[in-house]
């Protein structure tokens, strides 16, 4: 795409602040350990108006428990490196999923089930604070379900399901109202990558697990918004009230 891959100081400061804000909002995220200003000049059209100016470059040092992503397994499956994929998956499970026994023949199924539910939880948390990631592809979705790769993100000032923080997303694929659907798409790609390691019974069960993603997301989304509204207990009108208030916010 003819990009140089460099970050400028203003976007790096923004990334630093946002990851810290997300952490203190209780949302799983990578964190910024330091920000280093570069001596290199970077040319950018800051306001996308045709005026290109020279800016200071910068690098943010980010920390996370793991940087393995859905794409980390997807690329190995695509290239047919199944032995390496199995070794990597076992390493990830052993290091980061202690509740899964390594001698369990269903460990990859348990792993997938955990990633499905935790991904649903993460996106529901994003929605609860009006956070739009901006580039929700498989290489930007953590297998540990944490927020990584802060790029063209944004917070909604007012509710708008069509809000897009990424100016290059002309098709609005990653608009905030589509994040849950994109999460499902990415998880389906993860399942596709895992299928060569699963037997026929496990494949069927994994498909059923994926079908439950929407319910996981809806339950968590509802819980978070009920908490924001101070709603106690269960009432059949809760979902209606949440939807109504979001619609009112859209009209305001």
**Among all residues, which ones are annotated catalytic?**
139
C-alpha torsion sign, points 125, 127, 128, 133? positive
Using CA atoms, how far apart are residues 22 and 2, in angstroms rounded to an integer? 31
| Strand residue runs (E) in the chain | 7-8, 31-44, 53-63, 131-132, 154-155
DSSP one-letter string for 116-140: HHHHHHHHHHHHHTTEE-S---GGG
H/E segment holding residue 109: helix 107-128
In 10 A of CB 82, how many CB atoms? 12
């Amino acid at each position: 795409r003819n990009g140089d891959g460099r970050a400028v100081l203003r976007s790096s400061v923004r990334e630093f602040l946002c990851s810290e804000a997300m952490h203190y909002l209780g949302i799983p995220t990578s964190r910024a350990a330091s920000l280093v200003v570069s001596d290199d000049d970077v040319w950018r059209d800051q306001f996308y108006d045709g005026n290109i100016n020279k800016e200071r470059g910068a690098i943010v040092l980010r920390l996370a428990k793991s940087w393995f992503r859905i794409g980390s397994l997807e690329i190995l499956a695509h290239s047919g490196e199944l032995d390496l994929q199995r070794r990597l998956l076992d390493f990830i499970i052993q290091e980061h999923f202690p509740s899964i026994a390594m001698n369990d023949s269903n460990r990859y199924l348990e792993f997938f089930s955990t990633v499905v539910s935790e991904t649903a939880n993460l996106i529901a948390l994003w929605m609860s604070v009006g956070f739009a990631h901006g580039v929700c592809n498989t290489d930007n979705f953590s297998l540990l379900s944490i927020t990584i790769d802060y790029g063209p993100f944004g917070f909604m000032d007012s509710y708008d399901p069509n809000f897009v923080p990424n100016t290059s997303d002309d098709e609005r694929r990653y608009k905030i109202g589509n994040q849950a659907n994109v999460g499902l798409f990415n998880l389906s790609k993860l399942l596709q990558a895992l299928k060569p390691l699963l037997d026929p019974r496990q494949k069927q069960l994994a498909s059923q697990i994926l079908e439950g993603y929407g319910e996981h997301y809806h339950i968590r989304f509802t819980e978070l918004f009920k908490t924001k509204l101070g709603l106690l207990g269960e009432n059949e009108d809760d979902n209606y009230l949440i939807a109504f208030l979001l619609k009112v916010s859209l009209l305001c």
